[in-house]
Structure 1
């Protein structure tokens, strides 16, 4: 029995060697497991190689291999002079680079544009690095102080007043416009006998409201006139505004008990504003004025896109919250606003803002052409941002708000500290997608006589000194690289932020 058991279970020959395991790491492993692991992937790999061969290779050949790098005019970029098929004409880009960046901005004043770019980079880069401290101060400087400094650097000019004068003038213009609207209704009543009495009554009411507002504003108008007649109107107005704002913040923050921090912050902010006014000479004539019609190129593209991105966010948040509000008037207004602006093309918005917006303003109130386009783009982008943010708000469980209410938080604190941060984290891809689309859509401002980067490019084609068969292709390739750089940078940074804010990521 022992011999039978031994012969049945004890092997008397060596086992054959197994084949080596398939390599799944490295370059060979990547090709075997990702590109050639199935008939479908093999076909897609072949199609991808053909696509690269017929698109990327000719593009690199045009941009680098057959390109002309040196020259002073169009003759350097002609095939008969170069001795080979000519690709990109890079001397043309070098000759027109200043025009692509500054447009028609005066050469002697371009240091102001460069300084604006430097200040923007100095303030933006630390804000994008999460580990650096003082994010609140940095954000305040970038979103509040920098736009004012950039405006006076780029546009020039000085201040004729400050907060009290500006607010009084705005309110007085509003009262005049209401009174003018009432007078217009009264005049229209005489030509419409059917509803003439109703229009006359409505016109009288509107005109009475305008007159009442004008009477209420009489002390402010008198104070504004006294300020403007003083020897130092800007500084008198500045000091009066600083006192009023600081006292209000001190009282609203709790007065003697808890308002000292708000008072110190207000006084420090006004001290910084005073330093800027004194350094830039804004209390006098300031810097030479450069009309926005001379702006162009990358300067206009960045101004329009950055302004649209920054201003559309608060508009979108307000509209998204308004569309979810329980007050019917606010909800209906938000819905009508969003659907109206989303249903109108951006070209129509730009035409409306540029040519029809002045018709709705008082006769003595004008808005710069670039500012009109900025207003239209901000409202247009804000409507789209509202729907993106509303999607994030809908993704927040109802229990989050109920838990915050149970802890005693008000609606404002619940929205600002609990709901909105989670909603914005959910919609980072959608927000950045809207930002990228807005950055590319800035090229449409050229139809309202604003020469952005593409507008300057098309204008440069009319120069006969650089008229070659490859000039247009070179220019569009150069602009495409610039747009791709900015858009790709926003995309990659959004991925970084999304990964950092992911609560389920591994540290």
Structure 2
């Protein structure tokens, strides 16, 4: 039995309606906020909460805030010895404005502000092309950013050469210290973490054992302990008359601490690599180091980009712990200025802490967004 499967349309098909437009605010709201009854209920609750909470916060932060003034009087009520009416409550941005130079530079001399500003400009000029995936001369860019710039920055900030007056590291503080510590910790921890991860996977017992001991010991103690040891205990073991700069000790302690965690992140990426990648490299005649440099490490690092950036964000925030060894980072210098009786008022501390939190959020959010950009660019866990 033969079936005739051929089909020829004898009438024109009726005209179909135009496809619905994908864009539009109403469609976005339906798709993202009111797709189901459950989503609609949660969205309505969230909107009600925002309507209740946001206006008072905005009023306290901006509308009723004191933006300028010579002392605490602009941030206190009449009953508290100020000029504000009784019952007034608002942020004291005048305190942040008056202490802004200290918040950024610590006790760095005013006449020498151009030196950290110049270092910041050089860092920005070198960082921007480094973050752009398709910029040429990446090797030279990395050399200038991670090797040349630290040396130039030290002589610019510390002085003692080319007629620059010496500014001791004890006078450094504020956001400048936070950024310097974070920069060195990030620049040192990534290569050192890779070396430790490879050492832990090494077939040589001595190297593997030393790597494991370092990683486990450092990961087994909190950062505050390492900073305390570097600041208080280390000088006791040095020869008489020999000292190490406290700022340098903090940099080394923070860098070694984050390197141990970085090693475990990199090791996770290495373990996720299929065995076929190693076999393919061996079939091409590649030795161990070319295999790691050209094939394994680029793929392993790409797999753990979110974890690496999470470590960078964590260490940026953990730099606040250096206050226990007498150094004043961004948060430390703000808290130190709370003791200034000229600005003692009920709203001064909360305003300063909100400003510090906002600065930390800006930097951490920027690192998070760049991480997402790199994941999409490298197609890590995304589909184009």
TM-score, reference length from structure 1: 0.68
User: Is the 1:395–1:423 Cα contact (8 Å) retained in structure 2?
Assistant: yes
Offset at residue 49 of structure 1 (A): 2.3
1:125 aligned onto 2:128: yes
User: Is the 2:375–2:381 Cα contact (8 Å) retained in structure 1?
Assistant: no
Alignment partners' CA distance in 2, 1:348 and 1:50: 45
Residue in structure 1 matched with residue 197 of structure 2 by the alignment:
320
Alignment partners' CA distance in 2, 1:501 and 1:348: 38
Residue in structure 2 matched with residue 485 of structure 1 by the alignment:
362
After superposition, the C-alpha distances for 1:103-150 in whole angstroms (9 at most, x for unaligned) are 111122222111111111111112112232221111111111100000
Residue in structure 2 matched with residue 52 of structure 1 by the alignment:
50
1:91 aligned onto 2:97: no
Offset at residue 23 of structure 1 (A): 9.0
Residue in structure 1 matched with residue 73 of structure 2 by the alignment:
75
Question: Which of 424, 443, 468 pairs up with 2:320?
Answer: 443
Q: Equivalent residues in 2 for 1:227-266 (5 A)?
A: none
After superposition, the C-alpha distances for 1:249-276 in whole angstroms (9 at most, x for unaligned) are xxxxxxxxxxxxxxxxxxxxxxxxxxxx
Structure 1 gap segments, 5+ residues each: 1-20, 159-280
1:372 aligned onto 2:249: yes
> RMSD of the alignment, in Å?
2.1
Residue in structure 2 matched with residue 157 of structure 1 by the alignment:
160
Question: Which of 140, 145, 150 pairs up with 1:142?
Answer: 145
After superposition, the C-alpha distances for 1:267-304 in whole angstroms (9 at most, x for unaligned) are xxxxxxxxxxxxxx3xxxx5221111111101111111
Q: How many residues align?
A: 362
Alignment partners' CA distance in 2, 1:329 and 1:26: 64
After superposition, the C-alpha distances for 1:461-485 in whole angstroms (9 at most, x for unaligned) are 1112211221111111111111011
Structure 2 gap segments, 5+ residues each: 1-18
Question: Which of 106, 109, 113 pairs up with 1:106?
Answer: 109
Residue in structure 1 matched with residue 59 of structure 2 by the alignment:
61
Residue in structure 1 matched with residue 206 of structure 2 by the alignment:
329
After superposition, the C-alpha distances for 1:311-357 in whole angstroms (9 at most, x for unaligned) are 11111101111111111111121111111111101111110111112
Residue in structure 2 matched with residue 382 of structure 1 by the alignment:
259
User: Is the 1:457–1:475 Cα contact (8 Å) retained in structure 2?
Assistant: yes
Offset at residue 26 of structure 1 (A): 2.4
Offset at residue 157 of structure 1 (A): 2.0
CA 1:50–1:342: 2 relative to 1, 3 Å: farther
Offset at residue 505 of structure 1 (A): 6.0
Question: Which of 27, 34, 41 pairs up with 1:43?
Answer: 41
User: Is the 1:320–1:390 Cα contact (8 Å) retained in structure 2?
Assistant: yes
Question: Which of 309, 321, 342 pairs up with 2:186?
Answer: 309
CA 1:55–1:384: 2 relative to 1, 3 Å: farther
User: Is the 1:113–1:154 Cα contact (8 Å) retained in structure 2?
Assistant: yes
Higher Cα Rg, which structure: 1
* Structure with the largest fraction of helix: 1
Residue in structure 1 matched with residue 220 of structure 2 by the alignment:
343
After superposition, the C-alpha distances for 1:440-489 in whole angstroms (9 at most, x for unaligned) are 00001001100111111011111122112211111111111110110000
After superposition, the C-alpha distances for 1:6-34 in whole angstroms (9 at most, x for unaligned) are xxxxxxxxxxxxxxx99975222233333
Offset at residue 504 of structure 1 (A): 8.0
